[in-house]
Amino acid sequence: MNTFFYRGISENGDFQSGYYTANNKKQAIIELQEKGVIVDKIRFSYKGFNFFIKKSSFKLVINSIYELISSGLSMSEVLNFLVKYNSNPKLNLSIQLLLNDINNGENFSASLKKQFTGEYEFYFSILETSEKVGNLERGLKEILDMMDERESLNNQIITAITYPVILFFLMISMLYIILNYVLPNIISNLDGVVSLPISTKILIYIEIYASPIIQLIFLVFILFSTIIIVNNRFTKSKKILERILLSVPVYNFYLNLYTRGLVLKSMSFGLRGGLNILEANRSIIYSMSSNYMRDKFKKVIEDLENGNRISSSYDNLKLFSKLEIETIKIADETDKLQKCFTILSKNLEKKVLGRIKFISKIIEPAILILFGLIILIIALGVMMPVLLTTQNIDI
C-alpha cells in the first residue's frame, strides 16, 4: 500500500485535502470519487516523511488518542476530532491514515501497525489484547506509562554521564592544544640549558608521548561513533559488527545488562497490559536491537511453547542472577509474576543508576585532579629552568 496526498472538492462543494492509502494513484482516485470527492490534484507522499513520523510521532499519536478516549469518545469520534482541529503536521498524516482504515473496517491496532513497525511491535501486542477485551483505554495508558518510564530512565543516565564526558573531552582538547602549539615553542627555548630539572624532563616526555595517545583517543571516539551510525543504518554490516563487538568484554557486559533490563521491564508492562507469558515473551523479541540476543531469546519461546516453566527458560539464558531466577520461580508458582517483574525491574534500575551516579561522582574530581597535576607539571617545567638560569647569572 502507498500513501497519496490529494486535494479536491467534496459533495458539499467544500475544499478538501488529506492523505489516502491505495495500491496506486488510479485506485486512489477511483475510491475517492466513490466517497464523493472530486480529485483536483493527487501525488505520491514522500516516504522519507513517513520515516520521520515513525521516529518522532508514535508517542504523540498514542497520547492524543488516549486523552480523548479517556473522556468517553469513540475511536471514530476521536479521529474525526483530531483531523478537524489538530494543527500539528506530524500528527495529521498519521491520524488521516488511521481514520481511512477505521472507516474501511480495520482495527485500530492493525491500522497503526501499518505506519509504525519493528521496535513498536511490543506495544501492538498490548493494543490487540486491549481491543479483544474491550478496554483500549487501559492499553493506551500502559503504553504511555512504559514510554514515560523508559524516557525518564534514559534522561537520568544521560544526565549522570554528560558532565564527566564533556569535562574529559575538554581536558583532552586543551592538553592537545598545549602539547602541540605551546610546549614546542617553550622547549625550543630551553636548548641552552645544560642541566634540566625533573619537572622539565617530565614535561618533555609528556610532549613526546602524550600527543600520540590523545590523537589515538580521538580516533577511537570517531571510530566508535562511525560504528554506531553504520550499525543503525545497514542491516548486513550490523550483523558483522555485532560479531566483532561480542568479543569485547565491555560490550558483552553492556549488552547483557541492557537486555536484562529490557526483559524485566517489558514483562512487567506486558503482563499488566493483559498479555499472557508466551505473548509477552514473543513481543519482547521485536524490541531487541541485537540479533545475537534475539536468537538466544527465540530458544526461550521454544521452551515456553513446549510447556517449560518461565524460570527454567530464563535460567538457560545465563542472563539473570540466581536470586532473580529463584524469585521468578516462586512468583510463577504463586501466580504473582506481574508484581515480581515490576519489583525486579525497579530494583535493577535503582542499582544501575546508583552505580552510574557513584562512578560519575568519582570520575569528576579525578579528572579535575589529573588536569590540575598536568598544569602544575607544565608550570614547574617552564618556570624552573628560568629560575635556575637567573640564579646562575646572579652567581
* Per-residue pLDDT tens over the stretch 181-238: 776 776 666 655 556 677 777 777 776 777 778 778 778 878 777 766 666 555 566 6
In a domain, 344, yes or no: yes
- Which of the residues in the chain have pLDDT under 70? 1-3, 13-19, 21, 44-56, 89-90, 117-119, 183, 186-196, 207, 227-238, 385-386, 388-395
**For the chain, what is the domain count?**
3
| Averaged pLDDT score across all residues of the chain | 79
Can you tell me whether residue 192 is helix, strand or coil? coil
In this prediction, residue 24 carries a pLDDT of 76
In this prediction, residue 169 carries a pLDDT of 81
| Shared-domain flag, residues 162 and 250 | yes
In this prediction, residue 193 carries a pLDDT of 53
DSSP code string of 289-343: --HHHHHHHHHHHHHHHTT--HHHHHHTTT-S-HHHHHHHHHHHHTT-HHHHHHH
In a domain, 137, yes or no: no
In this prediction, residue 292 carries a pLDDT of 85
In this prediction, residue 48 carries a pLDDT of 40
| Shared-domain flag, residues 4 and 112 | no
In a domain, 131, yes or no: no
In a domain, 129, yes or no: no
In this prediction, residue 46 carries a pLDDT of 46
In this prediction, residue 290 carries a pLDDT of 81
Among the candidates 45, 64, 81, a domain finishes at: 45
In a domain, 127, yes or no: no
95: amino acid identity, one letter: I
What backbone torsions phi and psi does residue 125 show, to the nearest 5 degrees? Answer: -60, -40
Which residues on adjacent β-strands are paired with residue 368?
none
134: amino acid identity, one letter: G
| Shared-domain flag, residues 9 and 112 | no
| Shared-domain flag, residues 209 and 91 | no
Which range of residues forms the domain containing residue 17?
1-45
In a domain, 160, yes or no: yes
pTM over 0.75: no
* Residues 310-335 as b or e (16 or more Cβ within 10 Å = b): bbebbbebebbeeebbebbbebbeee
Length of the chain: 395
Can you tell me the distance from the alpha carbon of 192 to that of 247, in angstroms, rounded to the nearest whole number? 52
